[in-house]
Amino acid sequence: MSVCTVCFRHCDIPDGGTGFCGGRTAADGRVTALNYGRLTSLALDPIEKKPLARFHPGSLILSAGSFGCNLRCPFCQNYEISWSEQARKLAKKTEVCHPEELVRIALETRSRGNIGLAFTYNEPLIGYEFIRDTARLAQAAGLKNVIVTNGTAELSVLKELKPCIDAMNIDLKGFTDRYYSRVLGGDRTQVLAFIEEAVTSCHVELTTLIVPGENDSEDEMRALSRWVSRLREPDGESVPLHISRFFPRFHMQDRPATDIRTIYRLAEVARENLDYVYTGNC
């Protein structure tokens, strides 16, 4: 058995097996990324779709996704590539795209407005080795590197990536331990620590998806935004917050989409503490 050290789960993985995320395996007593370079999604997206509102607005970025995730959000929009059952099937079907090849594709799309690479769609940090190797090459080629993540990773993973990452959008999915552990299967403490460290080295924006009956109270948003207000990026700027609307999906279809009025009201609550608040999916 080998212990994976990517996130709080610290999975014991037998040789040839996979961890909870479905994206990591073990061989000869060593844990490696099963999903290394195995891309399931590749698209040239507006940077605002990540979402990033204050990082090169109006530009495009080549967005790459693999498979696997270390959370189990019941409303996942990309469950086909994120949940481990599907990930195991994808592992047998996807061919490896080496870092050099992905950087080459990114450079070829510069003429269409591309500024770099975004690692997104599934949870990219479970395959951080591919991000590290690719981002170093991209940085050397003058490209920007972006990560869209749930922030559920040890600081040792972030340390590996910090020198070559320009921006992140990190999910701060709620502000109670109950919600993180019971609904998402995650660890809020680890996410908060990850965010606090990430803002010291690159541009960071946060996203909170508002799920009816779970994290939609004004008191929770007030506490969340108050915590975010204490964060400062290296240039002294405050951290933007995106407040996004939930739609019924996957295993959570027992409630309606978030009322648009709730999103706008919570945005106003957040603006009591924050300079930059954006609404999404409205």
What confidence tens digit (pLDDT) does each residue in 98-110 have?
999 999 999 999 9
Long-range CB contacts (< 8 A, 24+ apart) of 113-116? Answer: 113/59, 113/60, 114/44, 114/59, 114/60, 114/61, 114/62, 115/47, 115/56, 115/59, 115/60, 115/61, 115/143, 115/144, 116/61, 116/62, 116/143, 116/144, 116/145, 116/146, 116/166
The answer, yes or no, to whether residue 85 has pLDDT greater than 90, is no
Residues 6+ apart with CB under 8 A from 140: none
The answer, yes or no, to whether residue 166 has pLDDT greater than 80, is yes
**In which domain, by residue range, is 12 found?**
2-280
119 confidence band (pLDDT: 50, 70, 90):
very high
Task: Please give the residue that has the higher pLDDT: either 18 or 83.
Answer: 18
145 confidence band (pLDDT: 50, 70, 90):
very high
Beta strands 12-13 and 24-27 are unpaired
Q: What is the pLDDT of residue 88?
A: 67
Q: What is the pLDDT of residue 234?
A: 81
Q: What average pLDDT score do residues 61-90 get?
A: 88
| Nearest-angstrom CA–CA distance, 252 and 152 | 22
CATH number at residue 77: 3.20.20.70
Q: What is the pLDDT of residue 87?
A: 65
Identify the helix (H) or strand (E) that includes residue 117: strand 114-119
Q: What is the pLDDT of residue 237?
A: 86
84 confidence band (pLDDT: 50, 70, 90):
low
Please tell me whether residue 272 adopts helix, strand or coil conformation. Answer: coil
| Nearest-angstrom CA–CA distance, 48 and 65 | 17
Q: What average pLDDT score do residues 159-169 get?
A: 98
Helical spans, DSSP H, in 5-154: 79-82, 84-91, 99-108, 128-140
pLDDT tens, residue by residue, 173-218: 999 999 999 999 999 999 999 999 999 999 999 999 999 999 999 9
Say if residues 95 and 40 touch (Cβ distance below 8 Å). no
How many domains are contained in the chain? 1
Q: What is the pLDDT of residue 8?
A: 98
Q: How high is the mean pLDDT of the chain? A: 96
Q: What is the pLDDT of residue 44?
A: 98
pLDDT tens, residue by residue, 31-56: 999 999 999 999 999 999 999 999 99
Q: What average pLDDT score do residues 249-261 get?
A: 96
| Nearest-angstrom CA–CA distance, 225 and 216 | 13
Q: What is the pLDDT of residue 23?
A: 93
Task: Please give the residue that has the higher pLDDT: either 258 or 235.
Answer: 258
**Residue position matching structure tokens 């996203």:** 207
